[in-house]
Structure 1
Amino acid sequence: MKLNKITTALSVALLGSTIAVPTFAAEDEQLKGLEVIQVTATKRITTAQETPLSLEAINGDDIAKKGLANLEDLTTSMPNINIGSGLGVQTVSMRGMGSGNERSFEQSVGMFIDGVYMPRSRQYRAPFFDAERVEIIRGPQAVLYGLNATAGTITVNSASTQPGDEGFLNLSAGYEVEYAGYNVGAVTGGSLGDDVGARLAVRYTDNGDGFYYNEYENALTGQEAQDEGDGDETIVRGTLVWDASDNLKITTKVDYADAETLGETGETINHPLMPLGIDGEMDWTRNASSTLSSWWNDKGPGMYHELLNASIKADYSMGDHLVTATFGHSTSDFDLITNTATLPGDFLSVSIYEEFTQNSAEFRLTSPETGNFSYIAGLYVAASELENVTVSALGPAILGDGPTGTGLSIGGSFLNTLDTTTISPFVSGTYNISDDFRITAGVRYSSEEKEVGRENLECFMKASDGAGGFMELTPNLTDVYESMGLAAICGTLAGLEDDKTSTNLMPEVIAQYDISNDTNSYAKLSVSKKSGGYGFSTSIGSAEALDFDDETAKSIELGIKTRFMDGRGQANLAIYHTIYEDLQQNSFTFNDDGTVDTAIVNAGESLSQGFEADVKFLLTENLTIGASVAYLSSEYEEFELGTCYVGQTPTIPDTAICDKTGENTPFAPEFSGNIFADLYQPITDELVLTAGVNVSFSDEYYTESTLDPMGVQESYERVDARIGLMNSDETWSISVVGKNLTDEAINNFTQPIVGYVVVPGAPRTVTVQGTYNF
């Protein structure tokens, strides 16, 4: 262990922390303490410092001021959280654990939006707009959030207007100077009579030129070099809060999002064994033909997403108890169309069309916290339908002017369906042994039934007909492609139908001891599960290789939280040790005839352990400084059937199998953290200067599952900063927000295809933004 590095990191942590900005009353000159952020991580209203969990929370005002638009922005100031955006999925990893690049997996980090569980990564688009608060809980969750949350949870609460609130209108706009993008937004609300509060939030974002440049030119097809990554997004959210009676409050929320990002996806870097004639650098430049991917649709290459979420929450006071019912409906339509290899040739085009629908309900009974014992009991039920169509096409360079020229392509389309039904009761009780010591224990039972179907839709050879259409040269080439070793083009196991039920019991115990009025400590033991299922890969060769079982996380976490100097300082420390068993991995199975199939299996075991520390301090009445740091050791304890990277010598001869035991898991930097400062400085009776800087850092880490050194993200430092003016009553504000000011190319995901497709995060952006409140 690098002792001097750990010492330095801990010293930095003692300077301050990450999230809250102090608030001051204009009429009170006395120095106040740090802002106290209320959270609902325990399904009760507490403060972040009182909650016995490794918890990060940020309020909606800070999200807006810092220009945080998505998970990637948010987690630049939160260590031990990494975002991976692949070609077909987006994954979130905590403490070195995530779901991997398999389209059928539920996320290992559970997302809850306004109390509704969102299992699919592409349901994450709209939540940070007009948010009231975001809470991030690291580590496996068992009872209150134990729906496949073996790595942690993210909960987002959007803002609401309550009955009796005065009417308001907030206008906002921003212009990004590097790529000419812009956004405009409006939030309005007020009371509709004495019993109803209404709120409407709308935002439109234009990506400008996009931050990729595609160098590819082809006079025959008419493709010219151009900027890519442009597109737009529209988000609308409506909220009604109805005080139906003295005992009943009903909150209804509906949000809709429609977004598109145009152009190819990611860029290809060279591999030593595959010289490809491209620049080989991760620099937001690609050299990719779009001809073949344009043949199979009328949209052209890009990502297209339409999303609708609706929820109804009813809170009913029944004496001293509270009954809560939350109903959710979600639909997500996602299309990805791309030259998968991202190369200057039409080698492989892939289109993924995904439709997801979910209906859910949670019923919860919460007792009062009087006396020595209190409890929460509930039931969650849900039903979802997932359809995923993959269209793969192989083809040489197209001859002639686009689709009206001559060209030939072979390919196929394949449908995966997955229907899931979930029933999950839970109960948690807290017993106060004394005024300072309490035990919380609970258990969740989960039963998930999954039904899978696979169908070959088309297996073809096509050519342009010279008039903008296509000629099908052969109606069905399934047998021919199989004999050529190209069965994955058309998909395997067509006609398969199967079902399975995962039943799991997830216990959790938390002991909390208040050392003083300002300091508390806790110990948490939990067992979390992620249910099994079926893979969607088109190359899986047998029914046995398609099926995978449950994954288990066994965790112990110790923590201490304290406030000091009359609330001007705050420090937190969490130490954890988590064993993951039966990891759901892309791997292999052996057949009786000696052949080996690609598979999704429970192939291994990993250990994640380390610590997270954060400190923040109100240095002066107007300046808050802070830092956070995380140390992480996350490695495979057992993973003998891992996939070899290109050029790696197989453990088992004549296969692609390599033993990954002892290797670090993906997205697991040894050290990560940030240092920050926030300023709120009155400069006249009417004007206030606001400013902030955040420097985040990370050690190197793998960004793909084969652990190829070519896919390692090197250690980096990233700088974000902002400066602005506002009037003292916050009627208006104007600021400049700079993200990634040092223009670091930070790789979010790597996928080996032909060479390596990497997906870097955004380069440097500088946005001028303003707000006006009526």
Structure 2
Amino acid sequence: MALLAGTAAVGFISSPVFANTAAPAAQPAADPAPAAEAPEETGIADIVVTAEKRETNLQRTPISISVVNAETLKERHVQSLYDLADGGVPSLRIATFEARQSALTVGIRGIVPLDANQPAREQGVGIYIDGVYLGRQHGLNAGLFDIERIEVLKGPQGTLFGRNTEGGALSLVSKAPTGEFGGRFNAGIGNYGAYTLDAHVDFPEYKGFSLKLDGVVQHQDATTKNPMPDQSGWNYYHRRGLRAAVRWQPFEGLTNDFAYDVAEDQNTPLYSQLLNYNPNNCASGGSNTAPIAISPANGNTACVLPGTAFTGTQGAIRPLAPGVVVNGTSRMDTADIGVPQQDSVDRTHGFTNTLKWKIAPEIELRSITAWRGVNVQQWDNAGGLHRVPVFQPTAACTAAAPCQFSRYSLADLRQTQFSQELQAVGSIANFDYVVGGFYFNEHVSDDAATPNSKGFVTTAVGTNGFATAGNYVDIPFCTASTPLFVGKAVNGCSIDRASEVWSKSYAVYGQVTGNFFENSLHVTLGGRYTHDEKRGVLHFSRNINYDTASAATLALQGYTPLNKTWNRFNPMVTVAYDFSPTIHGYAKYATGYRAGGASSRTSDYRAFNPEDVRSYEIGFKTDFWNRKARFNIAAYMMDRDGSQVDLSTIQPTATGNFNNLVTFNAPGTTKIRGVEADLTLAPIEGLTLNASYVYTYTDIPPVPVTYTDVGNGTSTTVNQKFYIVFTPRNAASGSIDYGLPFGDNGAQAKIHLDANYAQATQAFDQFATLADESFIVNGRLSLADVRLGDKQKVTFSVWVRNMFDYQYIFRRDPSNSLPAVQTTSVAGVPNITVIGNNAGILGDYGNFNAPRTFGAEMSFKF
């Protein structure tokens, strides 16, 4: 998905708040808003949204929505969707995938998938560009093109937007061609070698055709250095892209918009550093027949894996290797151990054609046709010595046989999609309606390998038998012949996994709103029927070729190809009432569903079913104080059945045992409850104050998890708690925007400040371990719209993100600080769940947020 933006603008308008006072209402890329909804000349501007497939006033739209307009994007220096991870829209949660910046985890209202980067797994928040649904979350961190606004639709949108919109939808609307010559150029520089260049040019209309071109380049050097020469550091990116849009208006009432975009994003992940050492005080030693007891007497009570029932543990805690740095308080500027690391590359492209034909006053026909694709090569060595495999630094680590570490996560993904949507939108008497049909066809394939890329050679040993000195050496990796993967990231590697998925989705939907009692009462009924088909296969798992393996080998894996169909009907009912021209209330019942799939990280291609959500919501939207104040509030209850959760566990295969990720449906009903409140004040001309607060409560009932002895088949079932990731209980954001006239030619001196807080959250759904709370402040000073000629204006600005260089851990992984479930039968122990293995324990590792960045920009409009 290529999203590229010039220096867009930063600010939030919301159904909650974030509105600019003197600015005109944000206009959709298509037709202008009805005259009845035009903004007043004073006070907080009205905002036009398309959340109901038509242009409506945000305050009169019975949905909780936050709108981030172009000005807000500029003021907050938002260059990509990941920049919204600072919490500027508190109910929108964004985090990077650990292995790659360009794959984002996006959540709204507690619907946040841990790993939506698998080909056969879906996201829980739908992401749309100009009405086109994006099937994958890969490539989402590409630079934004020239964005008019971003609409954050909260709560299930299953009726008008379809499957995989349980938590809501993120709708990006691009600026359309104007048909008049003009544009702007932006250039900027910043710390860490950053620079940006972008251009946006509109050409004059010619025989009904209007053309707009957008181009962007964004660059930042690594913020954590790699000690290994000639290797990339971490948190580096270089983005570039082009977009061309053509609008054809052959006669009044017909508009056809065609757009093509292409982009490339080179990046490296944020560095994963070792945060602590043996934080659960696991004891070292023990034997198979005499494990260490877990009791308060030895301070070992926390030394258990979630969901297990250990009565003892065994194995020696791994000592720290020479040179390893433990740092859980601050972001490291230089990694402790240099490792091979090259840039991951995401290439995206897309064609979109949107036709709108107003054939009569009562009806407009629409067609949205799109082809999109993404091609990814991942090279991730962010963990170095801090994640699996953890080795014992002893005299056995020799030059002839170095102890191997530094898991290099290599992966390829290729996705193509085609979608076609037909709509009829209009009004008849007192009724507004939308009816439509939707078709989606997606093909995804992936492969992955995880070779070790470094080795340790002991040069001195202490009295305890562990190394006191040693050398880190390069070791050959990916040297085998894998002709099926020539030219890809995993070429020459032992294949960890490879899979392929084909998905089709068909839907018909409709929604009608009746307006009664002099247009004060609005009753909306809607429904969508969806038929999904998903077929998938594993080609490789742990270097076994499933395409050529014998039936006996496949049976040993328990492998079953994915071949599933699902049908859903998602109804919606809303009752809204206008208590006055400035006070609006609504009550809403809505449903949504996320399709099922299969985990390609399992040897049996373990399938899982869809999950369904029911939502009950009430809300009020008010303008008061002569439109100098706006307050919106929404409260909701959501019940989700079949929650898709992930469990890292041990599973036997034909070649041994491996730690894999099983996705399954949790029994019972997951409860999600929340309140969203937003306030905008414009007390004096030029000053706008915004405040937003979100409370989110989530609870997944304990899940019975069964662990089976791999030796004798004896099983133990224990209840395990799972959590919804990246969802703080409390989150808030506030901003100040103030502009003063500068001179008498329309120029302005402007200041922007915003502060964003989020409580600590889990980063993995099977661990109670919390990351850190966050508090990020951003700012901008600018001298805007200095006139140079009749239409020429220039703006100078300086900006800073994370002004106080607040450092917090947003992903904390405890998998290296907890015992492993025993992988083989133990003499005298009948069940593996009573024995834990401490031999792999080192400590938590994780990722800090990005450091403070700052810079200066110049923008020239003509």
Summarize deviations over 1:352-396 as a string: whole Å, max 9, x none.
11000001010001122x412221110110111000101122466
State the 1:568 CA deviation. 1.2
Q: Which residue of 1 aligns with 2:732?
A: 673
State the 1:721 CA deviation. 0.9
Equivalent residue runs for 1:216-615 within 5 Å: 216=227, 223=229, 227-262=233-268, 266-272=272-278, 276=320, 277-281=324-328, 283-285=331-333, 287=335, 300-320=341-361, 321-339=363-381, 341-343=383-385, 346-368=405-427, 370-394=428-452, 397=455, 402=474, 411-434=494-517, 435-456=519-540, 459=543, 493=557, 496-537=560-601, 540-542=602-604, 546-587=606-647, 599-604=662-667, 605-615=669-679
Summarize deviations over 1:30-74 as a string: whole Å, max 9, x none.
982112221101111012111111100122233123311122323
The counterpart of 1:726, out of the listed 772, 780, 784, is 784
Q: Is the 8 A contact 1:492 1:541 kept in 2?
A: no
Q: Which residue of 1 aligns with 2:45?
A: 35
| 2:726 maps to 1:702 | no
CA RMSD of aligned residues (A): 3.5
The counterpart of 2:196, out of the listed 169, 183, 187, is 183
Per the alignment, in what secondary structure is the counterpart of residue 100 of structure 1? Answer: coil
Per the alignment, in what secondary structure is the counterpart of residue 73 of structure 2? Answer: helix
Change (3 A) 1:401 1:587: closer
Q: Which residue of 1 aligns with 2:150?
A: 134
| 2:72 maps to 1:97 | no
Q: Is the 8 A contact 2:69 2:150 kept in 1?
A: yes
Equivalent residue runs for 1:633-672 within 5 Å: 633-641=697-705, 659-661=719-721, 664-672=723-731
Summarize deviations over 1:440-491 as a string: whole Å, max 9, x none.
111111111111111128839xxxxxxxxxxxxxx99x99xxxxxxx9xx99
The counterpart of 1:60, out of the listed 56, 67, 70, is 70
Q: Which residue of 2 aligns with 1:465?
A: none
Equivalent AA in structure 1 for residue 53 of structure 2: K
Q: Is the 8 A contact 1:414 1:491 kept in 2?
A: no
Instruction: Give the TM-score, by structure 2 length.
Output: 0.75
Q: Is the 8 A contact 1:587 1:603 kept in 2?
A: no
Equivalent AA in structure 1 for residue 665 of structure 2: N
Equivalent AA in structure 2 for residue 145 of structure 1: F
Change (3 A) 1:110 1:406: closer
Change (3 A) 1:668 1:403: closer
Supply the distance in 1 between the matched residues of 2:164 and 2:493 (Cα, whole angstroms): 39
Equivalent AA in structure 2 for residue 454 of structure 1: L
Per the alignment, in what secondary structure is the counterpart of residue 74 of structure 1? Answer: helix
Equivalent AA in structure 2 for residue 579 of structure 1: D
Q: Is the 8 A contact 2:748 2:784 kept in 1?
A: yes
Per the alignment, in what secondary structure is the counterpart of residue 745 of structure 1? Answer: coil
Change (3 A) 1:759 1:358: farther
Supply the distance in 2 between the matched residues of 1:376 and 1:770 (Cα, whole angstroms): 44
Q: Which residue of 2 aligns with 1:44?
A: 54
Summarize deviations over 1:99-134 as a string: whole Å, max 9, x none.
112523211110010110012111423473210111
Q: Is the 8 A contact 1:666 1:703 kept in 2?
A: yes
Supply the distance in 2 between the matched residues of 1:557 and 1:110 (Cα, whole angstroms): 20
Change (3 A) 1:441 1:24: closer
The worse-fitting range, judged by mean Cα deviation, of 522-531 and 492-501 is: 492-501
State the 1:248 CA deviation. 2.0
Supply the distance in 1 between the matched residues of 2:734 and 2:772 (Cα, whole angstroms): 20
Q: Which residue of 2 aligns with 1:199?
A: 212
Q: Which residue of 1 aligns with 2:852?
A: 764
Q: Which residue of 1 aligns with 2:832?
A: none
Change (3 A) 1:747 1:371: farther
Summarize deviations over 1:747-770 as a string: whole Å, max 9, x none.
443445544442333211112111
Change (3 A) 1:47 1:656: farther
Equivalent AA in structure 2 for residue 186 of structure 1: A
Supply the distance in 1 between the matched residues of 2:258 and 2:76 (Cα, whole angstroms): 28
Equivalent AA in structure 2 for residue 379 of structure 1: G
Instruction: Give the TM-score, by structure 1 length.
Output: 0.83
- The count of corresponding residues between Structure 1 and Structure 2 is 697
Supply the distance in 2 between the matched residues of 1:245 and 1:98 (Cα, whole angstroms): 45
Supply the distance in 2 between the matched residues of 1:110 and 1:49 (Cα, whole angstroms): 23
| 2:225 maps to 1:213 | yes
Equivalent AA in structure 1 for residue 435 of structure 2: A
* Identity among equivalent pairs (%): 20
Supply the distance in 2 between the matched residues of 1:280 and 1:733 (Cα, whole angstroms): 42
Q: Is the 8 A contact 2:16 2:633 kept in 1?
A: no
State the 1:347 CA deviation. 4.0
Supply the distance in 2 between the matched residues of 1:206 and 1:603 (Cα, whole angstroms): 42
| Structure 2 residues without counterparts, runs of 5 or longer | 1-14, 25-39, 283-317, 387-403, 458-471, 481-491, 708-712, 817-842
The worse-fitting range, judged by mean Cα deviation, of 634-643 and 398-407 is: 398-407
State the 1:718 CA deviation. 1.4
Change (3 A) 1:375 1:342: same
Change (3 A) 1:227 1:418: closer
The counterpart of 1:122, out of the listed 127, 132, 138, is 138
Q: Is the 8 A contact 2:682 2:689 kept in 1?
A: yes
Per the alignment, in what secondary structure is the counterpart of residue 191 of structure 1? Answer: coil
The worse-fitting range, judged by mean Cα deviation, of 309-318 and 77-86 is: 77-86
Q: Which residue of 1 aligns with 2:397?
A: none
Summarize deviations over 1:167-186 as a string: whole Å, max 9, x none.
01311011113x12101111
Q: Is the 8 A contact 1:642 1:660 kept in 2?
A: no
Summarize deviations over 1:614-658 as a string: whole Å, max 9, x none.
111112101111211111111213433399xxxxxxxxx998986
Supply the distance in 1 between the matched residues of 2:714 and 2:846 (Cα, whole angstroms): 28
Q: Which residue of 2 aligns with 1:87?
A: 98
Supply the distance in 2 between the matched residues of 1:722 and 1:565 (Cα, whole angstroms): 29
Change (3 A) 1:283 1:561: same
Change (3 A) 1:433 1:227: same
Summarize deviations over 1:144-175 as a string: whole Å, max 9, x none.
1122111111000111113xx32013110111
| Higher CA-based Rg | 2
Per the alignment, in what secondary structure is the counterpart of residue 228 of structure 1? Answer: coil
